[in-house]
Chain A
Amino acid sequence: GAVVSQHPSWVICKSGTSVKIECRSLDFQATTMFWYRQFPKQSLMLMATSNEGSKATYEQGVEKDKFLINHASLTLSTLTVTSAHPEDSSFYICSARDSQGLVTYEQYFGPGTRLTVT
């Protein structure tokens, strides 16, 4: 089946620094990837839709200057949390949709990245 990886799986950083999280589709091409945030014991909240070769589409309330998304290739999207603060600590999950799949909107999820800002 389609596999999505994320790197790193967890990261601890100091307040004020930036952190980059990578999301890769390993065995399929993904023109569209999605970034979610999940708080403890809560559901996934869509942050933005990452489109290969174009600007990301951010959900209402998500700061685009703080959460920089780059989708430079059909298999890689990155999320950079800039000037991180403790309130940015969360579980970040990406997903990818197979561009060459059937007409369905199934998404394949990465394992997530635990970010802790101290």
Chain B
Amino acid sequence: AQRVTQPEKLLSVFKGAPVELKCNYSYSGSPELFWYVQYSRQRLQLLLRHISRESIKGFTADLNKGETSFHLKKPFAQEEDSAMYYCALSGFANYGGSQGNLIFGKGTKLSVKP
């Protein structure tokens, strides 16, 4: 079954501390993984996706197929990083399921304290 697990509902760190938001997935094929962020009172927006291997706002995420993980990391958290973070996966059509559907984890609320 396709599933995304974010074990932490809330993660609280101090400004300048490293951050790691955990995400594990279950998918039989080759999924496409995403991190979405939702700032207070704003719409959900894409933070990064694994295929582009980019760093956005200092965040990076590496897909580890052996551990089926896609953890989001930032070496020095900022107060403006406080938001809800959702890990999501999408399967390719050839592997069955609805094409392009996003399966979301339950989200982790990141709180960065001054």
On A, residues with C-beta under 8 Å from B are 32, 34, 42-44, 46, 49, 57, 93, 95, 97, 104-112
Q: How many residues of B contact A (CB 8 A)?
A: 23
Interface 1/0 per residue, B92-113 and A, CB below 8 Å: 1000001111111111000000
Instruction: Determine how close the nearest CB of chain B comes to the CB of A49; give it in whole angstroms.
Output: 6
Question: Contact: B98 with A49, CB < 8 Å?
Answer: yes
A95 to B104, CA, bound (A): 13
Given A44-B86, A46-B101, A93-B44, also A104-B32 (CB < 8 A):
yes
- Rounded to whole angstroms, the CA-CA distance of A49 and B86 in the bound complex is 20
Check if B11 is an interface residue, CB within 8 A of chain A: no
CB-CB under 8 A from B36, the residues of chain A are 109
Pick from A42, A95, A106, A108: contact of B49, CB below 8 A.
A106
Contacts A104-B49, A109-B45; A34 near B102 (Cβ below 8 A): yes
With A43-B86, A44-B104, A111-B43 given, is the CB distance from A106 to B34 under 8 Å? yes
Contact B106 A42 (CB under 8 A): yes
Cα-based distance from A105 to B34 in the complex (angstroms): 9
Interface core residue of B42, B44, B104 (most chain A CB under 10 Å):
B44
B1: CB under 8 A from chain A? Answer: no
Checking A57, A105, A110 against B102 with a beta-carbon cut-off of 8 angstroms, the contacting residue is A105
**B residues in contact with A43, CB < 8 Å:** 86, 104-107
The distance in angstroms between the C-alpha atoms of A95 and B46, with both chains bound, is 12
Identify which of residues 30-70 in chain B touch chain A, using a CB-to-CB cut-off of 8 Å.
32, 34, 36, 42-46, 49, 51
A105 touches B104 (CB 8 A): no
Contact, CB under 8 Å: A57 / B98: yes
Bound complex: CA A107 to CA B45 (Å): 9
Q: Is B82 an interface residue (CB 8 A)?
A: no
Report A-chain residues with C-beta under 8 Å of the C-beta of B45: 109
Between A32, A43, A46, the greatest number of chain B beta carbons within 10 A of the residue's beta carbon is seen for: A43
